Amino acid sequence: MIFGVDYYPEQWSPKDWEEDLGIMKDMGLTSVRLAEFAWGLMEPKEGKFDFSLFDAVLEKVGKAGMTAILGTPTATCPPWLFKKHPEISQISKEGIVRVVGTRRQACFSSPAYRKATEKIVTAMAKHFGKHPVVTGWQIDNEPGHEGSDLDYSPLAGINFRKWLKDKYKTLKKLNESWGNVFWGVMYSDWNEIPVPGAHVASDFSPSMIQDYHRFQSDELISYLKLQIDIVRKYSPGRALTTNLYPSPFLPITDMHELFGHMDYVSWDNYPVWGNQKEPYPHPLVSATQQYIRGLKDQNFTVMEQFSGVQGHDTLGYLPPPGQIGLWLTQAVTNGANQIYFFRYRTARFGQEQLCYGILDHGKRLTQKYFELQKTISEIKEYAEDISDQNYPAEVAILHDIENARNYKHQPLSDGLKFSPVPFAQVGYDIEIATWFAGTNVLNVNTHSFPASKDVDWNRYKVISLPLYTVFDDAVVERLSNYVKQGGTLVIGYRSGIKDQNQWIVEEPVPGRFREMAGVESYQFEAVGEDRVSVGMGIFPLKGNKFCEILEPTTASVVAKYTDKNKFYKGKPAITVNSYGKGKVYYVGTSLTPESFVLFYRKVLKEAKVPFGFLGKTIEKHFRIGRKYNYEILMNHSGKPRWAGFTRLKPFEFRITKINK
């Protein structure tokens, strides 16, 4: 288990470095991440490389008995590169040019940007690749963040048309696949095809937009693969990763495909950010951590762990004493085996001078420092014992990048729109997390996987699949076999009705799942944020976002709409169907988190999965270690809470050893 910190020695005087490393070691830290924004320092002029600053820093890191992860510095570009090649600037969907002075500005379709990247990464990898202190590399930094994996520049348009020609071969095939007979948009020359950017009213074809998202994903992955290949060549034996960020599906990039080229997954863990008045609910944070763990089905790294109030221009919630230590423990419990805190000391200047670190702008040791130091000491034995051990689970939630993209450009309901910042549309993320919350609040260890991932699904008693509108026949077939062999499948509204070209099938909802689910739906409405009453026996539930009126064929009714304001009061809302040796639940509405808890209580009980409700703020996990097994209780409330017969203080965690 490694505890480290993100360190920016270039922002401080060389006389600070040795003292800084000593302060880190006293806290219990043994590693640093360096250099992910240092291109302009390493190559101040084109072709003139200077690595002396980081040579000196790494020498001191080594003398301190610590290690380092180096970041390739391609998330920001030096001004000389923009001056020479102004065409490398990305252009947003709204037509805004991403100019020098910010970050994530460069177009992944730009030959000049790729050539410059190849030069700096090659020089850096040759210079540091076999350094004894360097144990690994972070490729780029938060790739795709701030909407940067969607570029509408002329260079992107050129490569998009090349990508389309490679995929479809002929315009006849492209016109057929996109349904261009609609509105008569029949392309007769590849150069007629635009990028689907800003528009006045009606949007571009869903088929075209989906292909554009696929293309942009491929562009980013190929750009990072360029760097990966270079670093692997000149830095053999060092592990490679890159750092993702909240929310999981903010980008349109296929992160599962990306990490097929890397050794492990990293994530930046900010349970609260900016002007939020309160943190994200703890099930959402756990859902994201399990998404990260599931991309490679292995433990992960937190490359930026919250250590102080964060924001670019506004600040909000201040975590009370104990909460940042609790968030650290939550990350370790969900499968993190390396934690790097962001950041060591808060920048006095620049765009992130409001992103507070372990220390503030000076060097006075803070309450944050002592809290994290204490937490590391308390959990270190436990963290070491479970490091690299499997996270056991009998329940899984499946997600799908094709559907995440689909719900960005066709969100279906105002309730599935959520844009916390202009470049983010994360309604799909919220729905996935809401489904996850049902099992998390019932304290059931739960995995989260891409639906297309090659995983033995038979190891799970229950699999849930929300918002699987765009289907893959191979996935549907695997799910069918899983249920036939005795598994329990829970699928959500609007499932199985769009093929990979974005054409809606002629079958009624749930399309490809009709036989499995034993139900059909011909009437439905989007209800946005309004709540609709649903009854499941004696339990009152609430639905929102979307409501389907279900017509069972072979299924039994589990819950009905009970809302007196709806003409479909008394009609089925949730059904269950026996299929082979297993069962398929079909949920025709988006349940609220509290309603999912009640619903999953029924599902888990029938599937013989142990669960227990300890209150909405109590999170419980079970971990297997080398020496012991563990029960972990976490109180995410600012008030004392009982977890069964255990009384937990505000933000307290309790780790109990269980003999094997």
DSSP state of 574: E
Selecting among 43, 146, 219, 304, the annotated active-site residue is 304
Strand partners, 89: 106
Q: Do residues 615 and 643 touch, judged by C-beta distance below 8 A?
A: yes
Q: How far is CA 571 from CA 321, 455, 574, in A?
A: 49, 37, 10
Backbone angles phi, psi at 239, to 5 degrees: -75, 145
Number of Cβ within a 10 Å radius of residue 269 = 26
SS3 528: strand
Q: Do residues 328 and 375 touch, judged by C-beta distance below 8 A?
A: yes
Tokens matching residue 387: 């490091």
Residue 51, CB-side half-sphere exposure with 13 Å CA sphere: 19
Cα–Cα dist 245/250, whole Å: 9
Q: Please name the residues in contact with 71: beta carbons below 8 A apart, sequence gap of 6 or more.
A: 33, 34, 35, 36, 37, 137, 138, 139, 140, 141
Number of Cβ within a 10 Å radius of residue 54 = 24
Cα–Cα dist 546/195, whole Å: 31
Q: Provide the sign of the torsion angle of the four alpha carbons 88, 92, 95, 100, taken in this order.
A: negative
- For residue 77, say whether it is annotated as part of any ligand binding site: no
Backbone angles phi, psi at 244, to 5 degrees: -90, -175
DSSP state of 281: P
Cα–Cα dist 644/65, whole Å: 44
Tokens matching residue 534: 């649903």
- For residue 458, say whether it is annotated as part of any ligand binding site: no
Closest CA to 612 of 596, 602, 623, 601: 601
How many residues does this entry show for the chain? 660
Closest CA to 501 of 169, 164, 179, 165: 179
Hunting for tokens 């002396």 — which residue is that? Answer: 52
- For residue 103, say whether it is annotated as part of any ligand binding site: yes
Cα–Cα dist 510/551, whole Å: 11
Is residue 43 among the annotated active site residues? no
Is residue 36 among the annotated active site residues? no
Cα–Cα dist 175/185, whole Å: 8
Q: Provide the sign of the torsion angle of the four alpha carbons 185, 189, 195, 197, taken in this order.
A: negative
Q: Do residues 493 and 559 touch, judged by C-beta distance below 8 A?
A: no
Backbone angles phi, psi at 519, to 5 degrees: -150, 155
Selecting among 43, 142, 146, 219, the annotated active-site residue is 142
One-letter-per-residue 3-state SS of 63-119: HCCCEEEEECCCCCCCHHHHHHCHHHECECCCCCECCCCCCCCECCCCHHHHHHHHH
Q: Please name the residues in contact with 578: beta carbons below 8 A apart, sequence gap of 6 or more.
A: 518, 554
Closest CA to 196 of 175, 216, 219, 168: 216
Cα–Cα dist 269/300, whole Å: 12
Tokens matching residue 541: 């539930």
In the chain the first and final C-alpha atoms are separated, in Å, by 21
Number of Cβ within a 10 Å radius of residue 392 = 13
Instruction: Give the annotated binding-site residues for Zn(2+).
Output: 107
Q: Which residues are catalytic?
A: 142, 304
